[in-house]
Structure 1
Amino acid sequence: MEIQSHVRITGPLAIYAAGFEQDLIRQGYKRPSDHLHLIAQLSLWLSVKKLGVDDVDETLLAD
């Protein structure tokens, strides 16, 4: 499936961006870029904090 948006995601979540977008499109989301912008912000935050995907849990997100 072709990537529809032009949201650039860097950091630890970048490897999941294409699959996440494809899943949103499959579910019928008309503007997956809205969600991708949130993922891009989270990925940037993780990078700044020097955290990886495995570090994300309920406790981390509650802070």
Structure 2
Amino acid sequence: MSNPSRVRMTGPLTPYAQGFAAELARQGYRPNAAANQLQLMAHLSRWLATQGIDAETLTRPILGNFLSTRRAQGYRLWRSSKALRSFLGYWCDLGFTLAESEIERDPAEDLLVCYRSYLLNIRGLADATARGN
């Protein structure tokens, strides 16, 4: 799906979807990337609805639970805290704050961080090369 306007939203984040789409466009997101971000937001919104959680009470631990659930359901994309950065930036710009505790990280994400550090510090590769590996 490459058209952000075709993403259907239900749940407590629905009132914020149009503003998030506009913010993604303002930041220069291509239509396909914006649609992907909106699909992730839609999944979060549906999940919040099933958990009985209001959008205004969103916290980092709740987001961590969402990401854990997403990984457990077998999603292969957008399942780490990095995937939520755009949404969280928009959410904070609206004036909402999140608790300070960290979002639960995927063990694979920790492994990639260590591997990247190895490539940069031990192997002496350039940042772009390490990112590609």
TM over 0.5: yes
Post-superposition shift, 1:61?
Answer: 2.0
Match of 2:8 in 1: 8
- Structure 1 match to 2:39: 37
1:54 to 53, 56, 60: 56
Question: Which amino acid counterpart does residue 15 of structure 1 have in structure 2?
Answer: P
Residue 23 of structure 1 deviates from its aligned partner by: 0.6
3-state SS of paired residue (1:22): helix
In the TM superposition, what is the alpha-carbon distance from 1:59 to its structure 2 partner?
A: 1.9
Deviation at 1:58, TM superposition (A): 1.2
Deviation string 1:6-60 (CA, Å, 9 cap, x unpaired) is 0010110000000000010010000211100000000000000011112211122
**TM-score (ref. length: structure 1):** 0.86
**Deviation >3 Å, runs of 4+:** none
Q: Secondary structure at the match of 1:12?
A: coil
TM-score under structure 2 normalisation? 0.43
Q: CA RMSD in A?
A: 1.6
Report which structure shows greater RCO (CA 8 Å, sep ≥6).
1
Partner of 2:78: none
Structure with more of its chain in helix, by fraction:
2
How many percent of aligned residue pairs carry the same amino acid?
40
- CA distance in structure 2 between the partners assigned to 1:24 and 1:60 by the alignment: 23
Q: How many residues align?
A: 61
